[in-house]
Structure 1
Amino acid sequence: MESFEADDGHVIVRLDRGDLALESIETACDEHDVDTGAVVTGIGTFSNLNIHYVDRTDLPDDQADRNVDLQLEGAWEVTDINGVIADGEPHLHVTAFDGERTVGGHLEDGCEINVLGEVTIRKIDGLELERRPGERNVSQLRQR
């Protein structure tokens, strides 16, 4: 992984074969002091895909009861990674295709880059956000 920062604060992250996507994005946020920002674009290929998604409308208080975790092997073409960074922590979603199906959800740790990855982070100055549990234990953005 290597990252580059522009004069306007945008950070470009290059992910190489074997890098872990979310973990590398978190490292780039630390290295470039991204407290509040957005991942505005991300593409690449994964050799495995770890995501979760909500499959219920009744939202039980326990998150484990409302999330479906998927750990998918094989080559995945990533068509988009995006989300918000609050208090230095990315909350990202991903869409990917394996040649037969398209899946999407919350990006989890352990997604290994197969060929390459490219991510653009935009810092947002003058705003400090964090996530706090809200109704039904749903993580909500709040201003610090």
Structure 2
Amino acid sequence: MESFESDDGHVIVRLDRGDKALESIERACTEHDIDTGAVVTGIGTFSTLHIHYVDRTELPDDQADRNVDLELQGAWEVTDINGIIADGEPHLHVTAFDGERTVGGHLEAGCEINVLGEVTIRKLPGLSLERQPDERDVSRLTRR
């Protein structure tokens, strides 16, 4: 992984074969002091795709019962990664295609780059956000 910052606050993250996508984005946030920002574009290929998604309209009280976890191997073409960084922590979603099916969901740790990845992060100076759980234990963005 290597990252580059422009004069106007954009950070480009280059992901190389074997890099972990989310972990590399988190590292770039630390290295470039990104507290609040937006991942505005992301593309690449994964050999391991690890996501979760909510598959119901009624949320059970137990967080573990809310999500479907997928860990998929193969050649996954990533068509988009985007989301918000609040308090230095990315909350990102991904869409990927393996030639037969398209899947999408919350980007989890362990997504390994197959060929390459490129991510653009936009710092949002003057805005300080964090996530706080609401009454249903859903993390909501709030001002800090």
Q: What corresponds to 2:70 in structure 1?
A: 70
Residue identity over aligned pairs, in percent, reads: 85
Deviation string, structure 1 residues 67-115 (Cα, Å, up to 9, x no partner): 0000001110000000000000000000000000000000000000000
Q: What corresponds to 1:85 in structure 2?
A: 85
Q: What corresponds to 1:104 in structure 2?
A: 104
Q: What corresponds to 1:15 in structure 2?
A: 15
Gaps of 5+ in 2: none
Q: CA deviation at 1:61?
A: 1.8
Q: CA deviation at 1:63?
A: 1.3
Q: For the residues of structure 1 that align with 2:82 and 2:63, how far apart are their CA atoms?
A: 22
TM-score, normalised by the number of residues in structure 1: 0.99
TM-score, normalised by the number of residues in structure 2: 0.99
Q: What corresponds to 1:114 in structure 2?
A: 114
Q: CA deviation at 1:135?
A: 2.7
Q: What corresponds to 2:35 in structure 1?
A: 35
Which amino acid in the other structure matches residue 123 of structure 1? Answer: K
Q: What corresponds to 2:126 in structure 1?
A: 126
- Give the total of aligned pairs: 144
Root-mean-square deviation over aligned CA pairs: 0.5
Q: Secondary structure of 1:136's match?
A: coil
